[in-house]
Amino acid sequence: MELRTSRRSRLTARIIAVAAVAPTLAATLQAAPAHAAPATATTRTATAAPTIATAAAAAAAVPKRENKKNRAVIFIHGYQWDGGADCTQWNKAKSFFKDVGWTGKLITWGYYKKDKNCSVEYGGDTGTDLKYVSKSLAWHIYNNYTSKGKTVDVVGHSMGGLIIRNAIARVKRGHAGFPSKLYVEDVVTLGTPHSGATHWWQNGCRSTQCKQINSGSGHLEWLNGLPSSNFQATGGTNWTALGSHDDEVISVNSATSFKAQHKIRYPTAEKVGHSDYYQTGTGTSWTYWRSSNYGKDYTKYTNRGSGPLRSAYLAVYYHSVR
């Protein structure tokens, strides 16, 4: 069994990490109102701004669903109280994926002006509405993959899971300003507040994004009121949601409340705190409860389950029920 130590002393670091995805904003957005739509992308790696689909792109066939390791994986960090994340937080996850033979691009997608070391960086702050954050993500996926007939996998920590849900749902519903389609084969959410953050968290909320991820918010009520079909990208999307009884920011019930086909819940004894999902758990001697029928039934695996990182890897590798 792997050595897993308590990280309660790092509570502050966990709090800072609540996930999301951000908009395509100009550098001048800092002075713009929170409800302004994104303008031009400001990225570390040159990424085209939203474009109209060409005839060739529209005609691109839906990629075949296969168990393979050469798809691009997009890692999305969570909400940050100070509006800035360091994408090196994903280094352990990226290293593990490479160790198991993943050959596809491993992309860290940032959405705050203060983000550091992300493969792709868009300007934005905690006052940017998640609608515009998800629009930027949707166009990044469309311009770089969907329009070229390629599909991607996504791993979102905390608020990051809500952003990819937004992106797929708004594209599926034909919202103005979003691309016509997306090819997203697998999505894994890690400690995502699908039904809201814990109550003590709400007391400190001041920013737009923080309020949007609280239970009872209009944003979550809208998102959770949509039919399950709205979260299926073109060609289908296989969802896996991970939660933990030791997560002090997002309850295990909230993290697994989304109608994902696969759900995994770690007991308190495994000490998976909010910031641990993306940096621990490469082995197979973990205890967890797993469901592959949308949470209708859970099976307990004692000392023979996969840790968080391995679970994320298996979720994006397999394209069907495991």
pTM listed for this prediction: 0.84
Q: Which pLDDT belongs to residue 60?
A: 67
- What is the topology classification, in CATH, of domain 21-48+69-317? Rossmann fold (3.40.50)
**CA triple 30-35-159, angle to 5 deg:** 85
Whether the pLDDT of residue 47 is over 60: the answer is no
In the sheet with 106-110, reading across from the earlier edge strand, the strands are 120-121, 106-110, 72-76, 152-157, 184-190, 238-244, 262-266, 286-291, 299-305
Q: For 159-218, what is each residue's pLDDT tens digit?
A: 999 999 999 999 999 999 999 999 999 999 999 999 999 766 767 788 999 999 998 999
Q: Are strands 286-291 and 262-266 parallel, antiparallel or unpaired?
A: antiparallel
Give pLDDT, residue 320: 62
